[in-house]
Each structure stands twice: as structure tokens, then as C-alpha cells.
Amino acid sequence: MQQRTTDQQATDVAHLRRALELAAQGPVADPNPRVGSIVTDAAGEVVGEGWHRGAGTAHAEVDALRQAGDRARGGTAYVTLEPCNHTGRTQPCSDALYAAGLARVVHAQSDPNPRAAGGAEVLRGKGVEVTGGLLADEAQALNRSWTHLVTTGRPWVTWKLAATLDGRSAAADGTSQWITGEAARADVHRLRAECGAILVGTGTALVDDPQLTARRPDGTLYPRQPIRVVMGERDLPATAKVLDDAAPTWHLRTRDPKAVLQALADAEVHRLWLEGGPTVAAAFLSAGLVDEVVAYVAPVLLGRGRQAVTDLGITTIDAALRLRPTDITLIGDDVRITADLHEGHEALEALEALEAAGAPMRTPTTDPTNTPEEH
Amino acid sequence: MQQRTTDQQATDVAHLRRALELAAQGPVADPNPRVGSIVTDAAGEVVGEGWHRGAGTAHAEVDALRQAGDRARGGTAYVTLEPCNHTGRTQPCSDALYAAGLARVVHAQSDPNPRAAGGAEVLRGKGVEVTGGLLADEAQALNRSWTHLVTTGRPWVTWKLAATLDGRSAAADGTSQWITGEAARADVHRLRAECGAILVGTGTALVDDPQLTARRPDGTLYPRQPIRVVMGERDLPATAKVLDDAAPTWHLRTRDPKAVLQALADAEVHRLWLEGGPTVAAAFLSAGLVDEVVAYVAPVLLGRGRQAVTDLGITTIDAALRLRPTDITLIGDDVRITADLHEGHEALEALEALEAAGAPMRTPTTDPTNTPEEH
């Protein structure tokens, strides 16, 4: 029996890994999570593959079941996220899986969304064998910001910072075009396109007059544009580039980062790209509302000029905000340093602890739902 | 004949590459360059290997000839640097090579030292076949700072900078222990040990009271200690750590970076490790006397605090000092960015141009000294 369990688990992992590859093809900035699915027939043959292509389209399981048709009966569905039990833009996936006559469902990440969770429980109640938690970390990493939104109620906030080696984001006369090179600027646009919204303060909108769109190096727009958010109480002139029709724009007349994040959460935006200036950056940082920093450090020295960030209320070294680097990449002549803030890190750890304590399990071989003979 | 030349060149390159490996075993902070040598007998068999172990010891060629003894007669000597023609601490190597009865001498970098150069010419005049310039770039890289000293008359200056992501080198209250992690601090000590001198201003010496030695992580001193140089007109208290007997210390009562570099050049120091503070760093940078920056960027945010460097007289982005990164390494949680200043880069290019124009050649197959049949 141990041997059968080990073999089955290896098969489960292989199918889930393929499902993760499929999931990664989904749109990263979509309000919905990226999900992939594989369906096998009763003999274990793959008869369907699917993934979610964004809000309003079929969920991954349904996409895979369409391919599988009747061959799904008695088979297994592999899904990177616990099947939803929620009637939203589509019918609950738990219903669709049950209706297809599947004997078993294997999922990775359990659904952290309280509105949608419970799919596994419903299926078990109807006699379907459910195994959860395999490759859960990888599945969660694929939907880090979406998971963050549904668990904390606010978007994952990435602060983008471009500065010289000596920490300047503009020269003494205010000029800042360009501190970083072309390749780094193209990288910023690529990452903007992965976010649901981009935010600046009215100060930046008035002084720099940026368009705030996500553009390819040839100047054309990426197909999906983030919402442009300008935060602050000052008026914007009708001629401001940020008000053109290249993308939707919100002017939020508030100085409260929490209010901004609430408005974005209400619109199901799970990743915000924060582009400063220094006052807006300091407001988010001081409030503990930055999850990640993407810093482009240019091999340039200026001596003086505008700081990348203003006072954070930190006066001594022991109170410094310490980050955890997750990636270092040379982009052209600039260095991109990606780092999590400890807040973000702790939130993820809390989430992991929550998941470990809840119904879905990290070690399926010792889980009762996975070894029914022990019941 | 072409075939013989090609085969011979492959052999020459292989022996020089081995000689470069030997050279790299020499002491990097020594006043003398690091040089390696291989001697083959008339049949092409390797009969001696040698390298220079520092000022006062045998030169690499002599070291290799000692091993070879009489077997060197009619053979070839491979040397990573043109044999010297200079009576200094030792006799000229050109004499030793001639006396050993070698038929041929192959060297990489030509001697950029006007006092020592001419060895190749002297040997040719005595009927020895001399080939130069093979692997010259690699040989020069091995003695970058020494080459810099003998061609420009001043040491290669490396400015070490430790700063937060937002460019602070201390918190608002002056505390700076520690911005970077343990691994980065150990790396600084390792690099200090590779320099002939370390420099700070009297300000840093008085406020931070550093010992300025090169220490291993366990606190013990590296065997070779750089000269500790304190620059500035203020007096130092006799209790200053920098005045202890762990290493020699110079207090140079000047604010002129040029005067400091002259004193170091007179002492044959070819690499200076500049540790700031901001005023001293700005003085060297403004005078165009920094060749390289080694920046430890810590994933930390402070918001305000001491700048890594003060005013450089740069007011607009087009006047920014732009560096060329040569290495990016993650050290612990910190990122070490090594970058050449354009001045240093241009100096190296000038040196390369000078070498290309002079007697030694980059393309030995087209050089008359290498293809005697074309004479």
C-alpha cells in the first residue's frame, strides 16, 4: 500500500507540475488568479488540459473538462488551486467537476478566498476523493499578489525606485531623464504591464507630467493597461498626459494610502505599482503598506539632488527598514534589486501558517483523506 | 610555414596561460608586479616554473631559470611581463636570460615602466628571438593597479562605499553600525588586504575612531597590512585606534588629494582603498582621482541620514558621473557593485592604444619579429 501511495504521489506531482505550466500562461494582471488543470481518464491517461484566460472566460477545470468530455468519467482532475464553490461570473467549479463524474480531485493551493472556498469540502461530501496541498508553495507563488489581496484585503504593493549609487533620483536642478539606461526603462514598462494599477502623487503628475502607460520599446502600448491612479488633493490640468485616453485614470483626492488601497481592492486590483515621488513613497512606507521594492540602481554619482524617499520617521540604525533581497539582475548597466519588506515577508509566513493549520495539508501521505483505508 | 607558426602560437599561448596562473600566486599588494615564468629546453620540454614572491625576492624568470639550470640552453623562456632591463633590487632579467643561453623569449604584457623597459630590445640586439604581446590583456589585468601607477604616476584609487538603497551611509543620529551585513564587512577586510594603503579623513578618524586594519572574520590580522593614511589638518589624539602598532600610519596634513597620491606613489603604493567619509570622497571624485567604486548596497531604507558623498559640483543629470559596472555580486543580503569611473576606463584605453602603437604587438602572426622568414 505504501508503494501504491508513493507511485500515486509521484504521478500527482508530475500532473500538477504540468498544470502549473499551463496556469503560467494566464494573464498575470487579471483580477482572477492564474489556474491550470489536467484531467485524466479512469486509466490515468491525460484526456484534457486547460487554463484560465482571465475574468469572464472559463475556469481552468472547466476548460480541461471540455477537452476531456465523457472520458473524464471515473478519472482524476488536477487543479493548481482548490476548485471554487462560488457562483460569480461562472458556475462553481465543484459542481462542474461533480457533474463530470470524476472519482478524484487533486489540487495544489487551497482557496484562500473566503467567498470561494469550500469546494474541496463539497466534493468530499458528495463522495469524491480530494487530495490537497501538493506543490502548494509553487502554486501560491504564481498568484502571490492575488493571494495577498484575498487574505489581507489589500493589493500587493511594489515600490519602484530608480536611483544613483548615492541614492539620488534627480539632479539638483530636478532633471532625472535619464538616470537608468534604456534596458532598465523597458523593464519598468514590462513590469507595469503586470500590475493592475500604477500610482503617483499629484506632485509627480504636475511636475513630470508622465503618461504612466505600459509601453514596448517601440512606443506601442501593451495590450493590457494598468489603471493610472493619481493620489492627492491638487487639481490636474485637463492637458495632463495621465488624463489622455490611452488607459483608464483615477484621480483619488486623498493623502491616505489605506483609502487608495481600499478603492483598488474594491476593483479587484491585486498588484499596485508605486512610482513615487518621495513623499508618496514615504507615506506608503511609513504606514507599512509596501510589500516589495524593485530598485534600479544606476552606476551613476550625483553628489546632491532629489532623494528617492523623504523622512520615514527613522532616526537610528536599529530602526532601519530591513528588506530581504529575492532577486538581483544586471539590466544593461543598471542593477535591479528586488526585495521583500519584512512586513510582506511576515504576511506570507502568516498565510503559510494559516494554510498549514487549516484543512488542506502539506503532507498528503499522512492525511486521512488520502489514505481512506485508515478510516 | 604557416602551419608551424600556428602550432607554435598555440604552444606559446598554453605556456603563457600557465605562467599567468603562476603569476597570480604572487602577493597582490606588493610594490612589484605579479609575474610568472615557464622555461622549456631546446626540445620544448618544460624544465622550470617560477613566479615573483614580492619585492626583494627573485624575479619570475630567474626563479624559473634556477629550476631549469643548464637545460635552459637553446630553450625558450615564457614570461607574463617583458623582462626588465633595470638594475633595482635585483640584476636586470634580460642579462640573466641571455646568460642562460635561451634561444627565444616570449612575453605577454610589455613593460610599461619607463625605468625598466627595453629588455626585449636588448635581447633582440644580442640575437635572441623575442615575441611579445600574446595574452597581453590578461597579463595587464593581473597588474592593473601597478600598470596604472607606472603609466600615470599615481596609484589606482578604489572608493569603497556602503549605503542603503536610498543612499544613506548613516542614520539621522549618526549611527551606522551596521548598514551592511557580516559577509559584506568581511569582504571589505579581504579587499583592504589587497591594497597598499587605506585612507580616511581626520573627520572619520576622530568621529568613528576606526582601527583601519585588514582583519579576518575571527579578528586576527591579515599577514600584510596596508599603510593607514589619515588625511587632513586636524590633530589626532594619541589614543586614536589608527595610531596603534597594528600597522604603519601616516597622518598627511593636507586637503589636497594630489599631494596624498604623490606621497603614496613615492612609496610605490599602487592601490589605494578610499573609505571616505563623504567630504574626502567628494574631494577625490571632484578631482577626477577615483578610478573605481566598490559599492555595498544594503537592502535597507532609512529615509534620512548622512549621505555617502557630498556636493560634487554636479547640478544637472547630463553632468552626472557615469560608471561602467565590471562586477555585481550578492554578498550575504547586500549587493556589491564594482564599477570603473570613465576616467579610469579612458586611462586604460589610452594605455592600450599606447601599447598597440609601441614595439610589442597584439597580433603576433603579422608581426615581423614573429615571422622572420618575411624579413
Full DSSP string of B14-59: HHHHHHHHHHTTS-TTSSSPP-EEEEE-TTS-EEEEEE--STTSPP
Does the pLDDT value for residue A280 go beyond 90? yes
d(CA A50, CA A34): 11
pLDDT digits (tens, 9 = 90+) for B121-170: 889 999 999 999 999 999 999 999 999 999 999 999 999 999 999 989 88
Of A166, A297, A323, the CB nearest to B300: A323
- Cell numbers that stand for A116 in this block: 470561494
pLDDT digits (tens, 9 = 90+) for A236-270: 999 999 999 999 999 999 999 999 999 999 999 99
Please count the residue pairs, one from chain A and one from chain B, whose beta carbons lie less than 8 angstroms apart. Answer: 182
Contact B302 A295 (CB under 8 A): no
| The CATH number of domain A149-344 is 3.40.430.10 | yes
Q: Are B135 and B16 in contact (CB under 8 A)?
A: yes
Residue type, A47: V
d(CA B156, CA B90): 25
| Chain A residues 306-335 with a CB less than 8 Å from chain B | 307-325, 328, 330, 333, 335
Query: What pLDDT band is residue A92 in, cutting at 50, 70 and 90?
Result: confident
- Cell numbers that stand for A343 in this block: 512586513
The helix or strand, by DSSP H or E, that contains position A215, with its residue range, turns out to be: none
| Spacing of C-alpha A2 from chain mean position | 37
User: Which of A317, A327, A341 has the most B C-beta neighbours within 10 Å, making it the best mutation to test the interface with B?
Assistant: A317
Partner A contacted by B302 (CB < 8 A): yes
Q: Alpha helices, DSSP H only, in chain A? A: 2-23, 60-68, 93-99, 119-125, 136-142, 144-152, 182-192, 202-207, 257-266, 278-286, 342-357
Partner B contacted by A1 (CB < 8 A): no
Does the pLDDT value for residue B67 go beyond 50? yes
pLDDT digits (tens, 9 = 90+) for A97-115: 888 999 999 999 998 877 7
pLDDT of A23 reads 96
Does the pLDDT value for residue B5 go beyond 80? no
* Domain map (residue ranges) of chain A: 2-142, 149-344
pLDDT of A342 reads 63
Contact B167 A171 (CB under 8 A): no
Of B166, B178, B321, the CB nearest to A163: B166
DSSP three-state, residue B268? coil
CA distances from A241 to A213, A230, A244, A272, B29 (A): 10, 12, 5, 20, 57
Q: Are B147 and B136 in contact (CB under 8 A)?
A: no
Query: What pLDDT band is residue B306 in, cutting at 50, 70 and 90?
Result: confident
- Cell numbers that stand for B322 in this block: 557615469
pLDDT digits (tens, 9 = 90+) for B73-105: 999 999 999 988 877 767 788 888 888 999 999
Q: Are A24 and A139 in contact (CB under 8 A)?
A: no
Round the average pLDDT of chain A to a whole number and report it. Answer: 87
The residue among A154, A362, A114, A363 whose CA lies nearest residue A271 is A154
- Cell numbers that stand for A262 in this block: 481600499
Return the CATH number of the domain spanning residue range B149-343: 3.40.430.10
CA of A255 vs chain B CAs: smallest distance (Å): 19
Query: What pLDDT band is residue B2 in, cutting at 50, 70 and 90?
Result: low
Question: A157-166, A344-353, B350-359: which has the highest mean pLDDT?
Answer: A157-166
What is the 8-class DSSP label of residue A233?
Answer: S
pLDDT of B91 reads 77
pLDDT of A371 reads 30
Q: Are B163 and B296 in contact (CB under 8 A)?
A: yes
pLDDT of A375 reads 33
The full length of chain A comes to 375
Return the CATH number of the domain spanning residue range B2-142: 3.40.140.10
The ipTM value here is: 0.79
Which residues in chain B are contacts of A325 at CB distance < 8 A? Answer: 299, 330, 333, 335
Q: Alpha helices, DSSP H only, in B310-372? A: 342-357
Say how many C-beta atoms besides its own lie within 10 A of residue B265's C-beta.
Answer: 17
pLDDT of A355 reads 45
Contact A297 B324 (CB under 8 A): no
Full DSSP string of A326-365: EEEEEETTEEEEEEEEHHHHHHHHHHHHHHHHSSS-S-GG
Which residues in chain A are contacts of B299 at CB distance < 8 A? Answer: 293, 322-325, 337, 339
Q: Tell me whether residue A61 is one of the annotated catalytic residues.
A: yes
Which residues in chain A are contacts of B180 at CB distance < 8 A? Answer: none
Does the pLDDT value for residue A90 go beyond 50? yes
pLDDT of B369 reads 33
pLDDT digits (tens, 9 = 90+) for A114-149: 776 688 888 999 999 999 999 999 999 999 999 999
